[in-house]
Amino acid sequence: MVDKVYIHKKRVYGFHLDFYKHVNNARYLEFFEEARWEYLLPLKKSKVLEKRNWITIVVRVEVSYKKPLELFDDIAIHTSINEIGRKSMTFNQKIYKNNETTISALANIKFVVFDTVAQKSLSINDEIKAIFGLL
């Protein structure tokens, strides 16, 4: 288990809402993705993956919706890598609204590190763990 948690904050606006006046399930995926991009921003800026011809690829998404998000909710998306496997890692993400302690939605997003030259996913070794700050 890894305990580095990144918190990304944002507000729900009208363009996030659907006909039923709450955030549509597909928008949650966008919220989670935005938070993952922010989590990975230091890696993207340093080009540490790019220099090795590596990219990250999402291979599995599991989302549980607990409480609806509505107009002007202030949300905090907590992102961490909570599982490190042999060939993949998993982001654990939770959305909290309006400083509540209950979860509005949670996701487990499994991803691989992919070598674009060799055209294969890599084994998660100490070098990869170190790059992701997991050692």
Among the listed residues 18, 73, 74, 126, the single catalytic one is 18
Question: What stretches of 59-125 show up as alpha helix (H) in DSSP?
Answer: none
- In which residue are the tokens 């948690």 written? 5
Q: Annotated catalytic, 74?
A: no
**94: which residues sit within 8 A by CB, 6+ positions away?**
77, 78, 103, 105, 106, 107
- Phi, psi (rounded to 5 degrees) for 4: -70, 115
For 64, counting Cβ atoms within 10 Å of its Cβ (0-12 exposed, 13-18 middle, 19+ buried), the class is: exposed
Q: What are the respective helix, strand and coil percentages of the chain, to the nearest 5? A: 25, 40, 35
Query: What is the set of active-site residues?
Result: 18
